[in-house]
Structure formats: structure tokens, C-alpha cells
């Protein structure tokens, strides 16, 4: 990992000017300036209470859920495979997802200093050196748990580490463009986790329906990631991160996110229809219809409602994932 030790004075002046133009309060600007100093301060600092926030537990649910969907989609008994399920869920969330978050916070520390100065690194609670040590520890622990499931699962975990670095770190740093960055996260959080869950149980190639659903819901997750970027618009503009809301504007980004999620669910419903799964099809259609009025509220007030929709509208999307997993069981 690498990163600049100090901000270029000219860049700092430009940031100060943009902070002033953004309408951020003076007190908030002071906090941000202090955070910008903290992120590259030398030395090793770590407050134990800040370790869990660094790993962002709120982000663990999607890959954990996707792994569980992959397990359920096999049609095998969950109770007979409870050990694999538990280890896989731990691998997907508290280890690999947490690793991706700590890695992202390292590489994104200067953007976070503007968007979320209370985060562990910008606030000075964890130094960038300490954050890398935590990331490395999660990687090693993740590999050990993955190997306990199957050697191929450890290989998949290694690919997950590479995807995390491609998203956050140089030279690719895919997150600088929302089209590519969101795609990588969707594939990692939903598709890879889903297919790993399926493989961990059967130790064979997943069914064609399972593969199709994993890809479909991964692409749909691009919309979820777009909504997640709404909270970072100010900092992304200042640091020239081309997220979808920055590129398209907030209203158009909300329309795109909704459309992407809806199209994915329609495609998944088509698979259920082809499979002849009547009840799961009806439930999936109901969940999709329930999202439509919520999406209208989101599109009418994108900046104010993005977090709200990500909490409630997205919940219906992920419920549809499990419904579809049940619907394709042999």
C-alpha cells in the first residue's frame, strides 16, 4: 500500500476554496481541515474502540446474505451443512467484507476526511499504518477460514482480495469511476459470495440458474452502490471521484439506480417463471411492486431520501434474492 504523506500546498488551497464554496459551515470546515492533517500523520496509533467502526459492520450483510442464498439455492439441507454455512457467513462478512472496508478506508482516507471526518483514520483514532496492519490480519484470518471450507474457497478469497485492491487502490482504483467501481463491488458482494456459497456445499459447478441469478443480482447491486455514493457527493467532487451521482446528477442517478435494480429483479422473475416456481414468482413480483412507490419518492427527493431508500427499498431487493434462491432449488 502507498499514499502521499502530505497534501500538496496548492491542492490544500484548492480544497479550502472548494470547501468554502460548498456552503459547509465554518465549524465543519475546521473539523475537515484537522481530519486532512490526521490522515497522513506519521506514527502508529490505534484505539481499540475504533477497530470495529473501521471495519463497517453495516456493510457486512450483503455478502453474508448472498453466501446464504448460494447455500439455499443448492437444495441441500441447511441443518446438515450448518458448519459450512456459519464459516462461510463469517468469511463473507466479518472477514472479507471487513477487509475490503479497512483497505478502502486506507486508500480513501483523504476523501473520507471531507465526507466523513469522524471515520477512524480521519479522526486520528487509527493511523494509516495501523489500518494496514488490521487489513493484513483480516486477510490472513480469512484465508485460514476459507481453507477450512475448501482449498478452492481460499483461491476465491484471494481473488476477493485482488478485487478489493482493484476497487480502492492504485494503479486501477476503479472507484474513481462509478460505472466500473460499482460493478466490481456488486460482483464481489453478491455474485462471488453467492457462487461461493453454492460451491461450498456441492463442491461442484453451481446450477445454471444459480449462476444466472448470481450475475443478475450482482448487476442489480450496481444500483445499490450508486445510492450509497449519494452521501459522498461533496467530497467526491472536490477529490475528482467520478461517482454516478457526480457524473449524472442526483436525480438522474436515482432514476438509473432504480431502473437497474428493477431490471435485475424482472430478469430473476423470468427465471422463476421458466422454472415453474409459482409461489416464489408471486412473492418476487409483490416485492418488486412494493418498491415502485418508494422509488418515486427517491427520485423526487434523491439527496434527502437516498439513505432512507437504501435502508428500506433495498431490503425488499435482498429479500427477493432469497425468494429466488428458494425458487430455483432442485
Asked whether residue 41 is assigned to any structural domain, the reply reads: no
Q: How far is CA 300 from CA 147, 289, 305, 306, 315, in A?
A: 48, 18, 9, 11, 20
What's the CA gap between 258 and 263, in Å, rounded?
Answer: 9
pLDDT of residue 4: 46
Q: What does residue 194 show for φ and ψ, rounded to 5 degrees?
A: -60, -50
The C-alpha cell 439506480 sits at 257
The answer to whether the CB of 309 falls within 8 A of the CB of 295 is: yes
Number of neighbouring beta carbons within 10 Å of residue 258? 22
- The answer as to whether 32 is a domain residue is no
Pull the grid cell for residue 18.
472548494
Question: CA separation (Å) from 138 to 92, 143, 157, 282, 317?
Answer: 11, 9, 11, 41, 29
22 domain-assigned: no
Q: What is the CATH number of the domain that holds 93?
A: 1.10.600
Using alpha carbons, select from 272, 249, 7, 273 the residue that is nearest to residue 114: 7
At residue 15, the pLDDT reads 66
Ordered per-residue pLDDT tens for the chain, 330 residues:
544 444 455 455 566 666 666 667 778 888 988 998 999 999 999 999 999 999 999 999 999 999 999 999 999 999 999 999 999 999 999 999 999 999 999 999 988 998 899 999 999 999 999 999 999 999 999 999 999 999 999 999 999 999 999 999 999 999 999 999 999 999 999 999 999 999 999 999 999 999 999 999 999 999 999 999 998 888 888 878 899 999 999 999 999 999 999 999 999 999 999 999 999 999 999 999 999 999 999 999 999 999 999 889 999 999 999 999 999 999
Does residue 319 fall inside a structural domain?
A: yes
Go through the chain and tell me how many residues it has. 330
* CB of 255 closer than 8 Å to CB of 299: yes
Nearest Cα to Cα of residue 193 among 330, 52, 59: 59
For residue 149, the model assigns a pLDDT of 97
Which pLDDT score, from 0 to 100, does residue 27 have?
Answer: 83
206 vs 204: CA distance, rounded Å: 6
- Among candidate residues 131, 124, 65, the one with its CA nearest the CA of residue 98: 131
Q: Is residue 11 part of a domain?
A: no
Q: How high is the pLDDT of residue 179?
A: 96
| Predicted local confidence at residue 3, as pLDDT | 47
Backbone angles phi, psi at 22, to 5 degrees: -75, -10
Count structural domains, the chain.
1
DSSP structural state of residue 80:
G
Inter-residue contact 119 to 240 (CB < 8 Å): no
How does DSSP assign 94-144, residue by residue? IIIIHHHHHHHHHHTHHHHHHH-TTSTTTTTSB-HHHHHHHHHHHHHHHHH
Domain of 91, in residue numbers = 47-327
Residue 33 is assigned to a structural domain of this protein: no
Report how far residue 123's alpha carbon sits from residue 115's, in angstroms, rounded to the nearest whole number: 12
38 domain residue, yes or no: no
Of residues 263, 287, 289, 92, the one with CA closest to residue 192 = 92
Distance CA 304, CA 324 (A): 31
Q: Which residues is 6 bridged to in the sheet? A: none
Residue 16 is assigned to a structural domain of this protein: no
Q: Which three cell numbers stand for residue 198?
A: 453454492
Amino acid at each position: 500500500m502507498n499514499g502521499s504523506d502530505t497534501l500538496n500546498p496548492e491542492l490544500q488551497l484548492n480544497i479550502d476554496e472548494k470547501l468554502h464554496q460548498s456552503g459547509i459551515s465554518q465549524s465543519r470546515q475546521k473539523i475537515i481541515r484537522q481530519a486532512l492533517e490526521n490522515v497522513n500523520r506519521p506514527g502508529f496509533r490505534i484505539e481499540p474502540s475504533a477497530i470495529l467502526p473501521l471495519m463497517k459492520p453495516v456493510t457486512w450483510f450483503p455478502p453474508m446474505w448472498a453466501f446464504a442464498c448460494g447455500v439455499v439455492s443448492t437444495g441441500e439441507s441447511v441443518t446438515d451443512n450448518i458448519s459450512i454455512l456459519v464459516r462461510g457467513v463469517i468469511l463473507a462478512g466479518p472477514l472479507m467484507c471487513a477487509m475490503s472496508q479497512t483497505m478502502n478506508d486506507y486508500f480513501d482516507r483523504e476523501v473520507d476526511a471531507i465526507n466523513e471526518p469522524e471515520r477512524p483514520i480521519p479522526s486520528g483514532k487509527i493511523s494509516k499504518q495501523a489500518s494496514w496492519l488490521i487489513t493484513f490480519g483480516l486477510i490472513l484470518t480469512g484465508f485460514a477460514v476459507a481453507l477450512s471450507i475448501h482449498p478452492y474457497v481460499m483461491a476465491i478469497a484471494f481473488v476477493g482480495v485482488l478485487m478489493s485492491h482493484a476497487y480502492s487502490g492504485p494503479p486501477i482504483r476503479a472507484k474513481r469511476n462509478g460505472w466500473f467501481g460499482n460493478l466490481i463491488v456488486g460482483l464481489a458482494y453478491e455474485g462471488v459470495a453467492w457462487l461461493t456459497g453454492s460451491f461450498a456445499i456441492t463442491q461442484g459447478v453451481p446450477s445454471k440458474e444459480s449462476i444466472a441469478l448470481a450475475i443478475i443480482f450482482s448487476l442489480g447491486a450496481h444500483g445499490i452502490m450508486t445510492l450509497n455514493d449519494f452521501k459522498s457527493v461533496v467530497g467526491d467532487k472536490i477529490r475528482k471521484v467520478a461517482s454516478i451521482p457526480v457524473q449524472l446528477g442526483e436525480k438522474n442517478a436515482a432514476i438509473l439506480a432504480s431502473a437497474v435494480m428493477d431490471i435485475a429483479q424482472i430478469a430473476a422473475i423470468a427465471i422463476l417463471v421458466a422454472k415453474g416456481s409459482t409461489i416464489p414468482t408471486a412473492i418476487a413480483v409483490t416485492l418488486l411492486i412494493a418498491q415502485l412507490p418508494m422509488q418515486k419518492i427517491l427520485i423526487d427527493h434523491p439527496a434527502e431520501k437516498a439513505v432512507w431508500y437504501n435502508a428500506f427499498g433495498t431490503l425488499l431487493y435482498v429479500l427477493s434474492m432469497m425468494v429466488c434462491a428458494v425458487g430455483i432449488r432442485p
